[in-house]
Amino acid sequence: AGLPPLGFDPPVDIKAPLRPGAPWKPSKEKGLLPADPGLDGGKGGHWGATGEKDWADARWNAMDVGPFMMSSVDLPGGQVMKGLTIRLHDGAALFDTERCAWRAWWTGGFLKFSPARFGVIDMPKPGGEPTLLPATSPGRWLGHRLAGSRVVLIYERDGKRIEESPALVDGKFALGKAEGLSTPGPAIRVKGVVSTEKGPYVIDTIPLPFENPWKALMFPGGHDFFANGDAAVCTVHGDVWRVSGLDAELQNVAWERVATGLYQPLGLKIVDDVVYVQGRDQITRLSGPGVYDCFNNQRPTMGGHNYVACLETDAEGSFYGVGPTTLHRVSKDGARFEVVAGGFRNPNGMSIGPDGTITVAPQEGEWTPGSMICVAKPGGHYGFGGPKEGVEPPLCYLPRLMDNSTGGQAWVTSDRWGLRGQLLNFSFGRSSMQLVLRDGAQGAVVPFPLQFASGAMRGRFHPLDGQLYVSGMKGWVTNAVRDGCFQRVRYTGAPVTLPVAWRATAGALRITFATPLDRESTLDPDRWSLDQWNYRYAAKYGSEDYSAERPDQPGHDPVELKAIRLSADGREVTLEIPALRPVHQLRARYTLRTAAGAPVKSELVATIHALAK
């Protein structure tokens, strides 16, 4: 796809003076540097210091989830993968939306949610002893609506439209009709915190309504904006909230719970001011108050660690999301579902760029040596499942300490945020954000010096103020400190000191910065440090860091820097590296100054597939 537009084309000063690089001194360990320490400073091994006991949380059982819950349900003798459990007076009834059939009813309680991993890894179980119902012929699921506290199901069978509502009459299961519409609950008002920190990018916080009448859990998994600037935010435990008051001061923000009971929604998109939500079971269209239309439910639903995430649209209006191993597309009218690409391990994020470029971010695990960002091609396969002819390489890998578990990506489309045309990546595992720079089919990542309150999942630019809003949540193997977050990354107008382009050529790495650099500090070899390493593609969960020069030995190679050159305009640095080679990770750390004297301390980590001549 090539580099995105930068807004300038800095000239290269071929007459700029060269400065010798730091002398290369092999370490005592056969010339290798140690690999980076693990998470939490290496405590607790690969996973860090936290474990399953830290992620066990039964609060979902205390939450008022509303009159229904869409989920898979574990019944005696079998599982209902696309279930709709409806709360009745002293029990519940379970409808199978995949077959359009009633499967069971019970008394004594609603659903029991497992405490494991905040409740979202195991299927809920009936709150009482189920009475199984006889099978019926399949139908076509259309959706459901609320009628006061009643739930009305809508489907077709044998060409006939059916609307029915369950009830318990004299302790027995019965079906009938219900009229009337539901109304939203009360709004909860909060005051935001506008940052007073200096720097080009700062974080403003829109507090989540952690204290609310329903004890609703606030683990945001996606958001988008209405034309008037209000936001819709979905949470993984099933809710959708409308958020108003997103102005510059954030002093009168209101949260209104407008939908409940969805199946672990991890993606949300607003089209023509209508909310579409991606759950494990279906894309639901919220057509009005209390109206839950089934837009498309053709994707298979699986339990366990098999989530369906993100919701994006392309220029033609088709919808995209990612599932346990694939990128999928749903037609604009919701009638057709198709798999676009596969071989992704549990991707949690994706994006669609203005030019149609699609990224997908698989998670570290079996046959996925590290978290990575892939440019998805139709029919492409990206490695999960084992060796296969024609496996596509990723755009870039992500160092584990920078991003051990990747969220979504977002393209800078705002004229008011700087860095227009660039690609951003959000880290669920490190509650952070990176700039992703493309050199053709290979990429490099640069961290933003920002920290979110929870694991960053999604980012979108506001249609009115042009700033970036990020939603995130806690889960497992993340450094998140809060259950969730909704925060604004605001551009202050101060000079941006990040790199904005890079290029790997035979014998040289070129890095272009957004701001002119100070010549003396930039040409000082002691202010640069370079190392490299590879990963191993195997069935083992993840990969250690391996020497590129000694493939069987764990560790990093020190990289010899022969000379440094700075362009006449002070923006492009050329690092002469005689032994530059294709490698999974080449890291350049630097401590510099801008031409105006501001500190510039960061790192660029590149994945090099090929060297340009």
> pLDDT digits over 56-85, tens only?
999 999 999 999 999 999 999 899 999 999
Q: How many angstroms separate the CA atoms of 277 and 286, rounded?
A: 8
pLDDT tens profile 249-272: 999 999 999 999 999 999 999 999
- Both structure tokens of 329: 């597309």
The mean of the pLDDT values for the chain is 93
pLDDT tens profile 198-226: 999 999 999 999 999 999 999 999 999 99
Q: Choose the weakest-confidence range: 160-174, 343-357, 520-534.
A: 160-174
Mention every residue, 6+ apart, whose C-beta is less than 8 A from residue 146: 67, 152, 181, 182, 290, 291
Strands (E), 218-280: 220-225, 231-235, 240-244, 253-259, 267-271, 274-278
Does 155 have pLDDT greater than 90?
A: yes
Q: Choose the weakest-confidence range: 4-8, 33-37, 306-310, 439-443.
A: 4-8
| 8 Å CB contact between 284 and 238 | no
Count the neighbouring beta carbons within 10 Å of the beta carbon of residue 410. 24
Place of tokens 């010798």: 20
Count the neighbouring beta carbons within 10 Å of the beta carbon of residue 158. 7
- Both structure tokens of 82: 């696309």
| 8 Å CB contact between 150 and 165 | yes
Strands 201-205 and 220-225: unpaired
Q: How many angstroms separate the CA atoms of 223 and 275, rounded?
A: 10
Q: How many angstroms separate the CA atoms of 348 and 329, rounded?
A: 16
DSSP helix/strand/coil, 45:
helix
**What's the pLDDT score for residue 27?**
43
For the residues 309-327, what does the mean pLDDT come to?
A: 98
* Per-residue confidence band for 380, with pLDDT thresholds at 50, 70 and 90: very high
Does 28 have pLDDT greater than 80?
A: no
Q: How many angstroms separate the CA atoms of 512 and 503, rounded?
A: 9
Does 397 have pLDDT greater than 50?
A: yes
Full strand arrangement of the beta sheet holding 337-342: 309-313, 319-322, 326-330, 337-342
DSSP helix/strand/coil, 42:
helix
* CA dist list (Å): 543 to 386, 427, 431, 475: 14, 19, 22, 22
For the residues 448-472, what does the mean pLDDT come to?
A: 98
Does 449 have pLDDT greater than 60?
A: yes
For the residues 93-114, what does the mean pLDDT come to?
A: 96
pLDDT tens profile 525-561: 999 999 999 999 999 999 999 999 999 999 999 999 9
Percent over 90 (pLDDT), the chain: 88
**What's the pLDDT score for residue 215?**
97
* CA dist list (Å): 174 to 69, 166, 178: 19, 6, 13
* Per-residue confidence band for 127, with pLDDT thresholds at 50, 70 and 90: very high
Over its C-alpha atoms, the chain yields an Rg (Å, rounded) of 26
